[in-house]
Structure 1
Amino acid sequence: MGTESREAFDSSERKERQLTVDSRPWTVDFPSGNRDGCERKGHLFFTLSLMTTLFLFSGITTLSAQDADQNYRASLEETLDRIETTFNVTLQYDQKLLENKELEYAFWRVRPGNLENSLTAVLSPFDLTYYQEGAKTYSIKPFQYHKKSISTAREELAYFESLYDNRIAWEDRKSQLRQCMIKALGIVELPKKPSSEPIITKKRKFKGYTVENVALEVLPGIYTTGSVYKPRPLKKHHPIIIMPNGHFGEGRYRESEQIRAATLAKMGAVVVGYDLFAWGESQLQFASEDHQLSAAHTIQTWNGIMWIDYLSALEETDPERVGITGGSGGGSQTMLLTAIDDRIKVAVPTVMVSSHFSGGCPCESGKPIHLCGGGTNNAEIAAMAAPRPMLIISDGGDWTHTVPELEYPFIQRTYGFYGAKNKVANAHFPKEGHDYNYSKRQAMYPFMAMHLGLQMDKLKNAEGKVDESGVAIETEQTLKVFGAKGEDLPENAIKGKDALFNILE
């Protein structure tokens, strides 16, 4: 074949082998040389390859079209099952939370190697979230603003640490937080404190201490009630300890709180344990459900400030030595009051310091104090006590189980800015739960004694513990200010949340 004929053949062959797929030309060219067998084999290979490609392409197109209609939809339960299998964890939830819930592109939301990102991607469309309950166990619940995952809390603390690495920077951050928290609580805008005299019941005398029931009018027509324990014999310059109550049963009337208050009084402190808002005698003015109002956060904080005012004005006290301790919700108040009131010199927040839990009651987190400074948490609020002495009491049975590894080192770092790491301590009880019982009190007593100058030695038993015997446990009726049935409630006392709102506004 001549040159011209070969060129014509090549041109003809190229045209015959030009195909169109989706309007795109596909041209196959063979190398020059022996074309007879090669071209036949090449043509066969090309034809089979093309048919295979078109078949697969057609199949994928069909599959994609079919799944695109469904958007790879799966039920939330199926997706959570996949997460359990993928990450070898147990997810606990109420089955009703998953009913009639489906996800588009469900399995695509499961992130390889990242459990928490996967849970967030799967749960957030339904306003659900998760909480780690154990090493391999997570609970699924509706979103709760006062809770977060431990990993999120760890990231937050790392972020806070990036904001300040010296005392000056921390003091600036603390000042911003304090001003914002006071504003968020609405304390500055509260009406002027009434000039009425405190209401004080008959004094009961016991070995080493006395008890009086006291009511203070903290706002027009609003009273806070408590039991004031004083050393006997009473001298002068006694330290002050206020004990905001928590959500433990029986409130300030319970045996463990009476023991704690009386023992501290026998050690030389003037002590008050006082009711929560809409608990105890406060229920003479407000319904129990009013405790769930965000206003409870403001009133309880104000009550604590007013108790410090009252006790500091007594002739027998030393206003330069003020301590505070409370458990659970009382622990929240301990941290908050210490953060905003410099008169408090020693703090022992109990079973409440946590970076991933800020209290499930509006009386603890109803006002947006945790949004201050672009966002904060109870660990940073607790750190605002620095460099004043603080003992953090924690346990293994609640949200404080992470304190030794997570919150305590963070708080220690802040104390380090003042060269005062020796002024903060952690008493951790890994096998105990959410309470303020004997072992926790035995951790608190020596700390208060050391930093407030209390006389503990005379109460030590043979084991070196503080002897709590000899405390008279009084009945609830005996500890009330306004009588067994509230018959002595002042006439100007307001009642109901509407009257409360009128005063706060």
Structure 2
Amino acid sequence: MRNIILSLIACCLVQSHLSAQQNTTDTRHQPLRDLNGYFPMQSPTNIAEWNIRREHVLRQILVSQGLWPMPQKTPLQATIHSKQQMDGYTLEKVYFQSMPGFYVTGSLYRPLHAKGSTDKFPAVLCPHGHWPQGRFYDAPASTLKDQLASGAEQFGQGGRNPIQARCVHLARLGCIVFAYDMIGYADSQQITYELAHRFAKQRPEMNHPTDWGFFSPQAESHLQNIMGLQTWDSIRSLDFLLTLPDVDTRRIAVTGASGGGTQTFVLSAIDPRVKVSMPAVMVSTAMQGGCTCENACLLRVGQGNIDFAALFAPKPLGLTAANDWTVEVETKGYPELQKLFTLLGKPEHLHLEAHTNFPHNYNYVCRRAMYQWFNQHLALGFSQVPPERDYKYQTAEQLTVFNSEHVRPAGGVALEKKVLRHWEQQSQQQIDALLGNGSRNTKRFQEIIGGGIDIVLGKSLPPGADITYDQQHETQKSGYLQMNGILSNSKNGSANSILFLYPDNWNKQVVLWLTDHGKLGLLDESGNPNSDVQTLLGKGCCVVGLDMLFQAEWITGNESEAHRTRSVANPREAAAFTFGYNYSLFARRVHDILTAVSFVTNHDMQPTSVYLLALDKTGPLAIAARAQAGDAIDRLAANTNGFRFANVTDLQSPNFLPGGARYHDLPGMLAIAAPQVTWITGEKKIPPIVTQVYQVEKPADAITFNAAPTSSCSAAITWLLESK
């Protein structure tokens, strides 16, 4: 009944002074971005600016991959077997555990040691990309014929697999090379190719708050994704290489093409052990990677592949371009990278090999450029790099690491769930350990948990200079002034309808009151302030109502906008295709709250106290905003309604938040706001992590618990008015 009455009020108010002008300026109503957008990099003007930007981009990558904080490394238990001496190199089979029970598989190529030599060799990690079956790929005869004719390849045997070709020649040049399988390729079959790379439809049986699978809302809320697992495999593959006694740990390189190019620039960005990098045909301002293994929620919101490649600066970075989505990188993206490398004093450490006469590839022409780059920066010692020569192609039967002695490990749904359980459990143990020594670790808790939540929510409190207010109506009422207009944020493109009820006897206190119905929730059936709002006005508090995105009159003709998070046109039901490039509706509504808080706190009227009140289903939004606003909100009174992000089972729910459960869920957001004064209801008791952090930061009376949600409104108002 309440909803019907409010709808009638809204219809009447559309023609009245309370309704703001129809929203046409909020850019967030425009179509969502997707992987085929344009992703330029903004060149920094000085090193200090770059260092700030670099830290944020790096943290955003790590958070998106489920690697913030970095997981504990478990024993690799590596097995190397079946060594063969080939023409100028040796070939061995490798498998090890990146997580307990989950195996990385691959081929290890080594140079032939000179008799009695004790020299150590540079090492090269080779992720492979989306060539069918990766290490086992065998080019169709017609494809090979065309490549030989065009000069893309040189040899009938060697041209059959460009992955094997580069590994063989690098070994012949004096490098130890590890070619490892992407998930679902070659010997890595514990998680299938169809799941990892072709996922398209949600699996209801894998969507459960305590027992879930990849791509489910629960996995996304915990930031567990195939890309993150593959990135972890890359880190552990580097760990494996560095355990080899003949590897020179000061000379480590990574190179791969296509999806392997993605893994190359991601690993190079996040792991300082990599000294030279050459991602092929993947770094551009255009298409960012079309596979589920190259996408993760949060990853490319406000940034892209050029930014990721830039993190490697000023270390030696080589790139290649072809007649694909990298075709324009020479004029779009590469100039910005040149400016950065010049700023950092190493312009010679950047190189682009553009061969746009060839389609998407890592062919002989581009590999030749890579050999020259590695010769220069890995100190291989050649005055002129020897060209490739043919080698004996290895079939799948010859390369597979498993046999009767080395048994293929079990996979399937049970293994998938086991991996995700381990990932989540050790993550929570790490987070809990941050508070294990009391106040000594509180700062670290704030850095890790606060740093993660900052990326999950996406925005902090905006500067007052970014915000403008366009007042549209002002009416003097009995005892208060009623004003409404549009609040705009120039940086995120938002424009929100906002209502101010300003009492004649203002006491310098402001209450921003969020409701499920926006500013209309502050009114009674006659369109006047309801009794609770009147109580606050009577005590001299200014009361502010806000229409968040797709709330109340900001619905653009389709009421489902208020109840469903939008998704991009991609028919595959993987959250990363939408939320890897766009904030969720929940996050955008948090941004709206932060904009309103910033406007009020920076207002010329200089309020002494700003309170945030959210006693219906908006409680989690208020708690999330408080986590980012810090002491700009003097007091928060919120009803959690027992909400947890981990319990959201629909990717299009307005409460779906990628990463929302990752850092102790909603209680983690409450805890990170310590020692700010807070009142909560809707819980059976104060969540333990909240109590623990508040006890360290400040006496426990900084947080008040109300056990009777039915009386929460009057109790919260009494608390606000009586607190000192």
Tell me which residue corresponds to 1:269.
175
C-alpha contact (below 8 Å) 1:290/1:497 kept by paired residues:
no
Alignment partners' CA distance in 2, 1:494 and 1:481: 23
1:418 equivalenced with 2:344 (yes/no): yes
Match of 1:281 among 167, 174, 187: 187
Q: Distance in 1 between matches of 2:191 and 2:335?
A: 43
State whether structure 2 residue 398 is matched by structure 1 residue 478: yes
Q: Secondary structure at the match of 2:188?
A: helix
| 1:281 partner SS | coil
Distance 1:176 1:170 in 2: 10
Provide Cα deviations, 1:199-239, integer angstroms capped at 9, x if missing partner: 22210111211111101101011001111100002643201
TM-score (norm: length of structure 1)? 0.65
Task: Please tell me whether residue 349 in structure 1 is matched to residue 279 in structure 2.
Answer: yes
The reply on whether 1:207 has 2:52 as its aligned counterpart is no
1:185 aligns with 2:65: yes
Q: Secondary structure at the match of 1:323?
A: strand
Are residue 198 (structure 1) and residue 78 (structure 2) matched?
yes
325-334 vs 185-194, which moves further: 185-194
Paired residue type of 1:275: D
Q: Does 1:316 align with 2:199?
A: no
Q: In the alignment, which residue of structure 2 is the partner of 1:436?
A: 362
Structure 2 vs 1, CA of residues 355 and 287 (structure 1 numbering), >3 Å: closer, same or farther? closer
Whether 1:449 aligns to 2:384 is no
The one-letter code of the counterpart of 1:349 is P
Residues 57 and 307 in structure 2, CA contact (< 8 A), matched pair in contact too? no
Please tell me whether residue 501 in structure 1 is matched to residue 420 in structure 2: yes
RMSD, aligned CA: 2.5
For the 8 Å contact 1:297–1:365, the answer to whether it is kept is yes
Aligned-partner SS, 2:396? coil
Using the alignment, how far apart are the partners of 1:309 and 1:227 within structure 2? 15
The residue number in structure 2 matching 1:251 is 134
Partner of 1:327: 257
Structure 2: distance between partners of 1:493 and 1:456: 47
The corresponding residue for 2:653 is none
Matched, 1:223 2:223: no
Aligned to 1:468: 389
Which residue identity does 1:198 align to in structure 2?
A
Once the two structures are superposed, what CA deviation does each residue of 1:50-83 show, in whole Å capped at 9, x if it has no partner?
xxxxxxxxxxxxxxxxxxxxxxxxxxxxxxxxxx
**Matched residue, 1:387:** 314
Structure 1 Cα separation of the partners of residues 131 and 87 of structure 2: 27
Moved more, 384-393 or 168-177: 168-177
Distance 1:192 1:276 in 2: 21
Structure 1's 262 and 378: CA in aligned 2 closer, same or farther, altered over 3 A? Answer: same
SS in structure 1 of the partner of residue 255 of structure 2: strand
Classify the secondary structure of the residue corresponding to 2:278: strand
| Structure having greater relative contact order (Cα 8 Å, sep ≥ 6) | 2
Superposition map of 1:11-410 within 5 A? 145-149=34-38, 153=39, 156-157=40-41, 160-161=42-43, 164-188=44-68, 192-233=72-113, 235-254=118-137, 255-286=161-192, 288-291=194-197, 292=199, 295-371=225-301, 375-395=302-322, 397-410=323-336
SS of corresponding position for 2:335: helix
Deviation at 1:184, TM superposition (A): 1.8
What's the CA shift for 1:250?
2.8
Deviations 1:460-505 (A, max 9, x none): 2xxxxx1322x22111122111238x97124799855333332332
**Higher-helix-fraction structure:** 1
Shift of 1:323: 0.4
Regions of 4+ moved over 6 Å: 491-494
More divergent stretch after superposition (350-359 vs 487-496): 487-496
Q: Distance in 2 between matches of 1:341 and 1:201?
A: 28
Which runs of 5 or more residues in structure 2 are unaligned?
1-23, 138-160, 200-213, 216-224, 425-724
Quickly say closer, same or farther: Cα 1:285–1:381, change in 2 above 3 A. Answer: closer
Instruction: Write the distance in 2 (CA, Å) between the matches of 1:271 and 1:364.
Output: 23
Change in CA separation of 1:227 and 1:495 when aligned onto 2, cut-off 3 Å:
farther
SS in 1 for 2:400: coil
User: Deviation of residue 247 (structure 1)?
Assistant: 0.5
Q: Write the distance in 2 (CA, Å) between the matches of 1:348 and 1:478.
A: 28
Structure 1: any 5+ residue segments left out of the alignment? 1-108, 110-120, 128-142, 461-465
Any conservation in 1 of the 2:283–2:309 contact (CA below 8 Å)? yes
8 Å contact kept, 1:222–1:494? no
SS at match of 1:203: strand
Contact 1:297 1:367 in 2 (8 A): no
**C-alpha separation between the residues in 2 aligned to 1:250 and 1:495?**
24
Instruction: Give the superposition deviation at 1:195.
Output: 2.1
Report sequence identity in percent.
30
Is the 8 Å Cα contact of residues 346 and 388 (structure 1) preserved in structure 2? Answer: yes
SS in 2 for 1:192: coil
Alpha-carbon shift at residue 369 of structure 1 (Å): 1.7
Deviations 1:90-115 (A, max 9, x none): xxxxxxxxxxxxxxxxxxx9xxxxxx
Aligned counterpart, 1:9:
none
Aligned length: 348
**Letter aligned with residue 388 of structure 2:** D
Alignment check: 8 A CA contact 1:304 1:337 kept: yes
Q: Which amino acid aligns with 2:189?
A: Q
Opposite residue 326 of structure 1, the aligned amino acid is G
Offset at residue 288 of structure 1 (A): 2.8
Which residue of structure 2 lines up, in the alignment, with residue 96 of structure 1? none
